[in-house]
Structure 1
Amino acid sequence: MTGFIDKDNVYQGQFSPKLLMNTAQENVLEHIKQQLETCESFIISVAFVTEAGLTSLKSIFYDLNSRGIKGKLITSDYLGFNHPKVFRELLKISNLEVRIFPEEGFHAKGYIFKKENHYSITIGSSNLTSNALQKNYEWNLQFTSHYNGDIVEQVMDAVEQQWEQSLPLSYEWIDTYSVVFNALSEARKRSTTIQLKQQNGIEPNRMQKEALLALSDLRSTGANRGLVISATGTGKTFLSAFDVKQFQPRNLLFIVHREQILQKAMADYKQILGGADSDYGVLSGSIQNTEVKYLFATIQTLSKETRLNSFGKQAFDYILIDESHKVGGESYQRVIEYFQPEFLLGMTATPERTDSFNVYELFDYNIAYEIRLQGAMEAEMLCPFQYFGVIDYEREGEIIDDHSQLDKLISTERVSHLLEKVEYYGYSGEVLRGLIFAVEKDEATQIAKELSERGYKSIALTGDDTIKVRESAVRQLEEGEIQYIVTVDIFNEGIDIPSVNQVVMLRQTQSSIIFVQQLGRGLRKNSTKEYVTIIDFIGNYKNNYLIPIALTGDTSKNKDTIRNKMSKINQIAGISTINFEEIAKTRIFESINAVKLDSMVALKEEYFSLKQQLGRQPWLLDFILNDSVDPEILVKNKKTYPEFLLAIKETTENLSDSQTAFLQFISLELLNGKRQHELLLLKKLISGPIKKTAFIEWLSLNELLVDLKTLESVEDVLTLDFFVTASQERYGNVPLLTKSNDEYNLSSILKLDLGQSLYFKTAFIDALDAGIERAKRYQNNRALTIGEKYSRKDACRLLNWDKDESATLYGYKPKYGNCPIFFTYEKDESLDASVAYEDDFLNAKVLKWYTRSNRSLTSKEVIKIVQSNETRMPIHVFVKKSDGEGSDSYYLGTAKVDNNTVQQVTMRDGKPVVEMNLILDNEVEKSLFHYLMSSSNT
């Protein structure tokens, strides 16, 4: 009804038709994935298939196969578009039967999913290619019909005819097709005119143009030092060459930490700057060519006292330090202290250091430009990647973990498991060029030996190998003489192999920085690959929680934030995808639930990292503005920020009992930003009294929720009337707000405290500002934001209850004109039968829900809920996955009772309970629904 006849006739289910497009919020690929995850079988009929498009679905096909679910795929050889390799990849998927439609002009694009009692069908313009599923402007109609539906019969008849007319895919067919494909490819090459750019005709990309302008602006302020933070593969060397070109130095010094980088850097500079070869020279080891305009030197040679003193202190007016996060070393310090250039530029992908050296300070806190991995992917500056979190080797229930011995890491069975995964998930391009990161040297050596014996020529490289040996291995990999280099961390940085098309992480994630560095080894663009495959073997590692942190760049230390990002992590900027086999994803959620992210050690480390970056003591607002720790986490254990500073032995000022109580109130009750009215009112009152009518008008102008009940609630919160006695005592029994007739004012004690201590006033305003900034994640024109998490206490406050009744709210409570319902989706098996409710989602819009036990159809609270449609009492639904998530629950919005389903039933202990279906006014967001419905994460 809703979709095809009358949009105002709301259908209370999940089967409404929908137009699927690729937008910033969602894309066709995510829809296809979600349909596959919930189907009993599937049929895909598409003319064109690319490796990247197919690879993005491989982990789901793997999970479906483990559940015995099979599918069919019909494609074609139309226009010679599909590469022979993609047909070979299709044959690797054992639960997918593939046929080729033999006639020219086949241009179908349809995805058919058989469900329990219906079909879900998507037909439109999207082929099985990464661009069509994620990027291009596409229209696809998704609709649902019962098995008996006429439209289903028409679609299935057409597909069955296609299937009967099609040829089974086989290796023999691929061999024959390859001849035709190769001939067509050669013809295309001959007809294409390749226009090579002139040597000095290279233009800066968008990022480089922005950075060049920023560097120029920085120097215009008189600054003589600057830092560029740019993800691996984004063209830092070219950027620096462009800046040298605009600076026009008399002499340049380019400093690196490894000799093999020099020649490549010098070649890049020649492309940008031009000039005679005699303008360029190298200072490294036995090469001492220093009488040049542009000198490229290793720090090891340059820092030697006799060599350093051979230069004048002002010999170079522009000095550039590559991988400048290393500048804390003694050799770097010696060089930096010696020279006096007009401008010193540092370049790094990771300025963060594990020691106490402050990289930011050395460059005068001048961050000229910064682009991290997520921004670089969004700007399409890097090669797209297909990340796969896969299950590590398991034998007799024993899984690789933090304490696994070497014999298990290098066992024949684990190597077989490794090969099974790398062969299944594959690589882009014609020739495999892979990097494998192992845990220890002996493991790397043995795995390289095992792989070589199985037909994958491999070399192990460790820190014991010379530069010459490493360079030889890289050359062999690039030229196709070997397929893998197996290494132990030595390729985390400082190595450039653009043709790498597969990166295998065969070790636990110890650091999100190292994780990104290793992932980055394959992110340089190269004509030999369309994307890079990242295969991450996930065992029972306690540090698995670092994976979503590394992939999203999240440093909030907030478990809810990380869980939320993990549940929505499948696709990031651009056409890269992130995929987890279901068991691997479960292990990550287990790790998130188990880890203590907010330890004082971890928070102290983040604090000093931000302090180094800012060059001063940060305030709470700074943590938000710099994407650092969530301020709510900082104050959770210590109650206020000054108390946190005292705990980490930072300088602060003494506060009175009342000042501490006021800060505790703001920090524990309002800093979360879930309603900003109290924060905004307090901030306005610092400047003086305000009329209630003026505040209402201001709220209205700023499109914030404004009604008398909300304002009464705000007043009750700030006068402490809302809180129970214990909370009032914790906050000193001193209100923050007074009200007289139509006027609000600060309480006399708060005004006195603000006037007596500048430090307290600064900390108080900072806590208000941090809460206001944090509130931007919420829809402040409504009481609650769907998809965000709330506690029972939050619900009482935000639904404008007169008092905090969270202690007696339990699972639900109809009161004050509304009824919040809280439930845990996964019940602990040890629960007593009297509270083991069987709440269950029937679909993304309908929830089967149970009242408390020992309730009947005549119970007063049940009657209120059942009659809520007539009385228009809103029912607000909150859910959490499991008790391992803590006390807060996701808000799903309001719901209506399906009165036709209300019935009294009996629980396992024989007590009566009332069962009913609640129909949500909004479908549960797809990624959240999948997270809630997936196998246990705790």
Structure 2
Amino acid sequence: MELRPYQKESMESVFEQWEEVDKTLLVLPTGCGKTIVFAKITEQCVKGGKRVLILAHRGELLEQAADKIAKTTGLGCATEKAEQSSLNTWYRIVVGSVQTLMREKRLNQFDRNYFDVIIIDEAHHCISDSYQKVLQHFSNAKVLGVTATPDRGDMKNLGSYFESLAYEYSLPKAIKEGYLCPIKAQTIPLKLDLSGVSQQAGDFKTSDIDTALDPYLYQIGDEMKKYCINRKTVVFLPLVKTSQKFTHILNELGFSAVEVNGGSDNRTEVLQDFDNGKYNVLCNSMLLTEGWDCPSVDCVVVLRPTKVRALYSQMVGRGTRLCEGKTELLLLDFLWHSERHELCHPAHLISESEEVANQITKNIAEAGCPVDLEEAEVKAQEDVVAQREESLAKQLKEMRNRKRKLVDPLQFEMSIQAEDLTNYVPAFGWEMGPATDKQVKTLEKLGIYPDSIDNAGKAAKILDKLDKRRMAGLTTPKQIRFLESRGFLHVGTWQFDTAKHLIDRIAANGWRIPNGIVPQEYIPQ
């Protein structure tokens, strides 16, 4: 099987990281073939004489991994689950259930060096005690965690175990490059009150959500009839009883709806019938967040509000795969009223900045029609930059007036319009430490004032940005400081030669702005 360019890059990055660290992360959005990537990584490891454990928390994920490995590499797998044991088999790949392996009696049957490599599918679960028990037993193994796009909070949690991020492929990039379908979000003007919902294990409590949701089910059904009567829709709900009740309501409203849950005896048959078009709505109580694919799904309705971005991404990911005749995924977003501002919305799929995400959510709600998420992000970023510039104008003016030859990092970020720097939060251990002496000296040499950079991760990110800007022929920090101190705007977006030419003109004019140039209105050629 020929890997896609990003899959090949991600695979190479993992092996490069394993030269430096023992535990690394691979982040790929749902639908971008993470199972194929780790299948190929497994094949390479086996060719090198290594024994590999693929660890997951659900049977479907283990079966999917074994099936994908067999199809893409021709290699067979042993299974470590319930009564099935991998011991005394000749297979060098084991797919193992964490619930089985965490049991002390089972775990102690394995020598601590039995596995050379451990790959964790859906790695956002691996911070739990059950996973950690298994990982600590095989503490000498190289570890790869594979997950869909996590938010900064998730990444910080994962950073407490993993030592690096080997590779990240973003959802917007996957859509832009044609590997996932575009997403259009539609805000439904129906206010559902979550103010009385308590929290459990870091998210909204499902039983409380169910109570809050129940009075609105008929109204939600009516709204769905306006937007997705002719679409293939998956609905996520908090509890099985609500999922069953809502299925009944949808059928009353003219949909062909069916419900599936963990206790359904005919689950495989129902999913196959939905895939084949017998039903146009599939309701479930969080059963289909992982390990199930139906590319023809073109509408997702999330009626299980969450503040966990990884979970939200999994739900929406059921509809992002490409399919013949499918032009976009419609994502219905409801106006959940909550005293907390941590609720995931469609905007959180593409924006790491909470400020930008809130602006996207506001813009979509005001639009009153389906809005393309990529286009919404561009507009929101422009809005946020304008708002931020207005609020920071005094601060930047004060910085420009300082008797300092170096550029303040905040001015640099604003000038080059770098969202990734402005919203950076350290995740891994080394990132959280102070900037090293070498980083500080290099930053000063390149024109950045280092005192307000409070961690090594931010310093590394700025240095990487400076190196890439130099290669691209963009302005230096010193050029930015000089020209912006004289009133020119966003000098960070200019070419190096353009800035140099202007500075030379100013120098030749006795360090005064040449006639005919108004700095605030100046647009470089």
Deviations 1:463-519 (A, max 9, x none): xx3486755643442344433222344433444333433212346564554433322
How far 1:616 sits from its partner (Å)? Answer: 3.2
How far 1:259 sits from its partner (Å)? Answer: 0.6
**Matching of residues 414-493 of structure 1 within 5 Å:** 414-423=220-229, 426-427=230-231, 432=232, 434-438=233-237, 442-461=241-260, 465-466=262-263, 471=268, 473-493=270-290
Aligned match of 1:324: 123
How far 1:204 sits from its partner (Å)? Answer: 0.8
How far 1:784 sits from its partner (Å)? Answer: 3.6
Deviations 1:590-614 (A, max 9, x none): xx99xxxxxxxxxxxx999933236
Q: Distance in 2 between matches of 1:516 and 1:613?
A: 22
The structure with more radius of gyration: 1
Change (3 A) 1:699 1:254: same
Aligned match of 1:266: 66
Does structure 1 residue 229 correspond to structure 2 residue 27?
A: yes
Q: Distance in 2 between matches of 1:438 and 1:304?
A: 32
Greater shift after overlay, 372-381 or 327-336?
A: 372-381
Q: Distance in 2 between matches of 1:363 and 1:410?
A: 42
Does structure 1 residue 284 correspond to structure 2 residue 81?
A: yes
Aligned match of 1:615: 430
Q: Distance in 2 between matches of 1:387 and 1:375?
A: 16
Secondary structure at the counterpart of residue 319 of structure 1: strand
Does structure 1 residue 676 correspond to structure 2 residue 480?
A: yes
Change (3 A) 1:356 1:469: farther
CA contact (8 A) 1:552 1:565 kept: no
Deviations 1:314-367 (A, max 9, x none): 2222221111111111111111111155532111114457589742342322x2
Q: Distance in 1 between matches of 2:333 and 2:510?
A: 51
CA contact (8 A) 1:519 1:534 kept: no
Q: Distance in 2 between matches of 1:707 and 1:607?
A: 31
Letter in 2 for 1:243: I
Picking from 513, 519, 524, the partner of 1:783 is 519
Secondary structure at the counterpart of residue 271 of structure 2: helix
Identity of aligned residues (%): 20
Unaligned runs of 5+ in 2: 196-210, 389-420, 436-450, 456-476, 486-495
**Matching of residues 360-399 of structure 1 within 5 Å:** 360-365=159-164, 367-382=165-180, 384-393=181-190, 399=191
Q: Distance in 2 between matches of 1:531 and 1:783?
A: 45
Aligned match of 1:242: 40
How far 1:253 sits from its partner (Å)? Answer: 1.1
How far 1:422 sits from its partner (Å)? Answer: 0.9
Q: Where is the strand percentage greater, Structure 1 or Structure 2? A: 1
CA contact (8 A) 1:435 1:484 kept: yes
Change (3 A) 1:617 1:407: closer
Aligned match of 1:534: 330
Change (3 A) 1:311 1:702: farther
Picking from 226, 234, 254, the partner of 2:54 is 254
Change (3 A) 1:525 1:414: closer
TM-score, with normalisation over the residues of structure 1?
0.38
Change (3 A) 1:318 1:265: same
Aligned match of 2:492: none
**Matching of residues 82-481 of structure 1 within 5 Å:** 202-219=1-18, 221-247=19-45, 248=47, 249-275=49-75, 279-290=76-87, 291=89, 292-340=91-139, 342-352=141-151, 358-365=157-164, 367-382=165-180, 384-393=181-190, 399-402=191-194, 405-406=212-213, 408-411=215-218, 413-423=219-229, 426-427=230-231, 432=232, 434-438=233-237, 442-461=241-260, 465-466=262-263, 471=268, 473-481=270-278
How far 1:619 sits from its partner (Å)? Answer: 7.5
CA contact (8 A) 1:505 1:537 kept: yes
Deviations 1:238-261 (A, max 9, x none): 111112223324322111110111
Q: Where is the helix percentage greater, Structure 1 or Structure 2? A: 2
Unaligned runs of 5+ in 1: 1-201, 394-398, 580-584, 594-605, 621-639, 646-672, 682-696, 714-780, 787-892, 894-938
CA contact (8 A) 2:305 2:344 kept: no
Letter in 1 for 2:250: L
CA contact (8 A) 1:508 1:539 kept: no
Q: State the number of aligned residues.
A: 411
Q: Distance in 1 between matches of 2:290 and 2:223?
A: 28
Change (3 A) 1:231 1:386: closer
CA contact (8 A) 2:305 2:343 kept: no
Aligned match of 1:761: none
**Matching of residues 58-97 of structure 1 within 5 Å:** none
How far 1:299 sits from its partner (Å)? Answer: 0.7
Deviations 1:269-320 (A, max 9, x none): 0122214xxx422222233344222211111111111111111222222221
CA contact (8 A) 1:473 1:485 kept: no
How far 1:522 sits from its partner (Å)? Answer: 1.1
TM-score, with normalisation over the residues of structure 2?
0.65
Secondary structure at the counterpart of residue 163 of structure 2: coil
Q: Distance in 2 between matches of 1:502 and 1:532?
A: 9
Does structure 1 residue 553 correspond to structure 2 residue 335?
A: no
Secondary structure at the counterpart of residue 435 of structure 1: strand
CA contact (8 A) 1:231 1:373 kept: yes
Letter in 1 for 2:226: E
CA contact (8 A) 1:255 1:299 kept: yes
Secondary structure at the counterpart of residue 451 of structure 1: helix
Secondary structure at the counterpart of residue 112 of structure 2: coil
Q: Distance in 2 between matches of 1:409 and 1:489?
A: 19
CA contact (8 A) 1:374 1:553 kept: no
Q: Distance in 2 between matches of 1:700 and 1:532?
A: 42
Letter in 2 for 1:453: E
Letter in 1 for 2:331: I
Q: Distance in 2 between matches of 1:474 and 1:710?
A: 77
CA contact (8 A) 1:444 1:460 kept: yes
Change (3 A) 1:491 1:336: same
Aligned match of 2:395: none
Letter in 2 for 1:783: P
Root mean square deviation of aligned Cα: 4.6
Change (3 A) 1:562 1:618: farther
Q: Distance in 1 between matches of 2:510 and 2:242?
A: 63
Letter in 2 for 1:447: F
